Structure formats: C-alpha cells, structure tokens
C-alpha cells in the first residue's frame, strides 16, 4: 500500500467520546487526505493537507479536525463522536516528493480504519 499505514484498523467507541485516527507515510509525499466511505456515497473528502501545518476542509468536514505536525503523520480527530460518523476512513497521499518526482495526480491509499460509534 505504497508505504501508508493507518491506526487503529478497527475501533468501536461510544457516542460523545473523542477519537483520533492516525495516518503514517514513509513516501515523503506532500499531500495527505482523509476520506470516509459510506454505502451509496462513494468516497468523500473530509480534510486534506498540502504541507506541514497546512490543512484545508473538504466536502464533509463538520465534526472533524486534523493536524499535521510533520510530513509523515496526518491525524484525524473526532472531538465528540456521533453515530453518523460510523464509517470506513481512508487516508491517501500524493506527490510531489522532496525529490521532485511528479506523481502529483495519482493518489495512494492506506488500508482503511473501520470505526463504529455506538
């Protein structure tokens, strides 16, 4: 999976609790993304990052925050989880890398985190 890991892979939590999902890359790609995947909706972008400490909102950002303190890690936080946030969460990365190779347009995906909010 192109040097991308997500943790945890599965999590069950209760409504109102905070949850943090971690995405870690070893590819030194500039861009990192968080998506959620739900039946009938495909993948929807939550937040993305275009550099360390540089983030922006996606299509479905309400109820989520992100942080990127170093190139390799991108954290997604649900401050107070709700049942509507039960989903499969995917992290993705894209270039360019520090070496300047332009894999700009293609995204590489992590294995996903299945989150259940009871």
Partner 1 sequence: SQQGEEDPQALSIQEGENATMNCSYKTSINNLQWYRQNSGRGLVHLILIRSNEREKHSGRLRVTLDTSKKSSSLLITASRAADTASYFCATEGKGANNLFFGTGTRLTVIP
Q: How far apart are CA 93 and CA 71, in angstroms?
A: 11
- Nearest Cα to 76, choosing from 24, 115, 20? 20
CB of 101 to partner 1, least distance (A): 15
Structure tokens, 55: 């983030």
Q: Does 74 bind partner 1 (CB under 8 A)?
A: no
Binding to partner 1, residues 6-65 (CB under 8 A) = 31, 33, 35, 40-45, 48, 50, 58-59
Give the separation between CA 94 and CA 108, rounded to whole angstroms: 6
**Binding segment toward partner 1, per CB under 8 A, in 16-24, 66-74, 78-86, 106-114:** 106-114
SS3 (DSSP) at 83: helix
- Site residues, partner 1 (CB under 8 A): 1, 4, 31, 33, 35, 40-45, 48, 50, 58-59, 90, 92, 94, 105-112
């Amino acid at each position: 999976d192109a040097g991308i890991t997500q943790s945890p892979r599965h999590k069950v939590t209760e409504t109102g609790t905070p949850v943090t999902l971690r995405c870690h890359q070893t590819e030194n790609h500039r861009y990192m993304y968080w998506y959620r995947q739900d039946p009938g909706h495909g993948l929807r972008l939550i937040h993305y990052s275009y550099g360390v400490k540089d983030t922006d909102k996606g299509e479905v950002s309400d109820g989520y925050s992100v942080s990127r303190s170093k190139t390799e890690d991108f954290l997604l936080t649900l401050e107070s989880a709700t049942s509507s946030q039960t989903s499969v969460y995917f992290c993705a990365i894209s270039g360019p890398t520090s070496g300047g190779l332009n894999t700009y347009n293609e995204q590489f995906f992590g294995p996903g985190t299945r989150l259940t909010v009871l």
